[in-house]
Amino acid sequence: MFTIRKDINWNEPHQCLIIGVFDKPAKLVGLAKEADEKLDGQLTALVKDGDISSKKKAVSRIHTLGRLGTKKLLFVGLGKEKELTFESLREAFGKALKSLKDARLTSVSVLIDSFITDELDVLDTGHAFGEAFALANYEFAGYKQKSNEVQKEISEIIVYSDSEPEEVSSAMQVGLIFGKATNSARNLVNIPGNLLTATDLANYSKELASKYGFELEVLEKEDMIELGMGALLAVNQGSEQPPKLIVLKHQGKEEWKDAIALVGKGITFDTGGYSLKTKTGIVGMKTDMGGAAAVLGAMEIIGELRPEQNVVAVIPSTDNMISGNAFKPDDVITSMSGKTIEVLNTDAEGRLVLADAVTYAKQHGAGYIIDIATLTGGVITALGYDMTGAMTNDEALFEQVLEASYEAGEPIWRLPITEKDKERVRGSKIADLNNSPGSAGHAIMGGAFIGEFAEDTPWVHLDIAGTSVSEKATDLGTAGGTGVMARTLAILVERFDMDE
Q: Averaged over 126-150, what is the pLDDT?
A: 90
Residue 153 has pLDDT above 90, yes or no: no
- The yes/no answer on whether domain 193-495 falls in CATH 3.40.630.10 is yes
Question: Is the CA virtual torsion 201, 206, 208, 209 positive or negative?
Answer: positive
Residues whose CB is less than 8 angstroms from the CB of residue 434 and which lie 6 or more positions away in sequence, other chains included: 341, 342, 344, 424, 425, 426, 427, 428
- Given the residues 277, 328, 414, 424, the one annotated as active site: 277
| pLDDT value for 148 | 67
- The DSSP secondary structure of 302-351, one letter per residue, reads HHHH--SSEEEEEEEEEEE--STTS--TT-EEE-TTS-EEE-S-TT--HH
Q: Assess contact for 99 and 16: CB atoms under 8 A.
A: no
Strands 156-160 and 2-5: parallel
Tens-place pLDDT, residues 197-208: 999 999 999 999
**Average confidence score pLDDT of the chain:** 95
Q: Assess contact for 283 and 467: CB atoms under 8 A.
A: no
Tens-place pLDDT, residues 455-481: 999 999 999 999 999 999 999 999 999
CA distances from 384 to 70, 72, 88, 469 (A): 45, 40, 21, 12
d(CA 174, CA 181): 11
| pLDDT value for 351 | 98
Phi, psi of 310 (to 5 degrees): -95, 125
Residues whose CB is less than 8 angstroms from the CB of residue 43 and which lie 6 or more positions away in sequence, other chains included: 28, 32, 35, 36, 52, 62, 73
Residues whose CB is less than 8 angstroms from the CB of residue 266 and which lie 6 or more positions away in sequence, other chains included: 198, 201, 244, 246, 289, 291, 292, 315, 316, 317, 318, 353
- Given the residues 72, 180, 351, 362, the one annotated as active site: 351
More confident residue, 420 or 150: 420
- Known active-site residue 98: no
Question: Using only C-alpha atoms, what is the Rg of the chain?
Answer: 25
> What residues does each domain of the chain span?
2-163, 193-495
Which helix (H) or strand (E) is 180 found in, with range? helix 165-190
Three-class SS state of 227: helix
Q: Assess contact for 300 and 208: CB atoms under 8 A.
A: yes
d(CA 482, CA 288): 13
Tens-place pLDDT, residues 404-431: 999 999 999 999 999 999 999 999 999 9
Tens-place pLDDT, residues 310-354: 999 999 999 999 999 999 999 999 999 999 999 999 999 999 999
d(CA 35, CA 49): 18
Q: Averaged over 127-146, what is the pLDDT?
A: 94
- Known active-site residue 277: yes
Nearest Cα to Cα of residue 38 among 70, 60, 84:
70
| pLDDT value for 2 | 93
Q: What is the pTM of this model?
A: 0.96
CA distances from 114 to 14, 59, 126, 162, 464 (A): 17, 15, 11, 11, 36
Q: Report residue 500's pLDDT band, with 50, 70 and 90 as the boundaries.
A: very low
- HSE-CB for 269 with a 13 A CA cutoff: 20
Q: Report residue 149's pLDDT band, with 50, 70 and 90 as the boundaries.
A: low
Tens-place pLDDT, residues 271-288: 999 999 999 999 999 999
d(CA 99, CA 102): 7
- HSE-CB for 489 with a 13 A CA cutoff: 38
Strand-pairing partners, residue 470, are 480
The CATH class of 2-163 is alpha beta
Measure CA of the first residue to CA of the last residue in the chain; give whole Å: 38
Q: Assess contact for 314 and 457: CB atoms under 8 A.
A: no
d(CA 178, CA 35): 32
d(CA 303, CA 171): 17
Q: Where are the alpha helices (DSSP H) in 349-441?
A: 350-363, 378-383, 395-408, 419-425
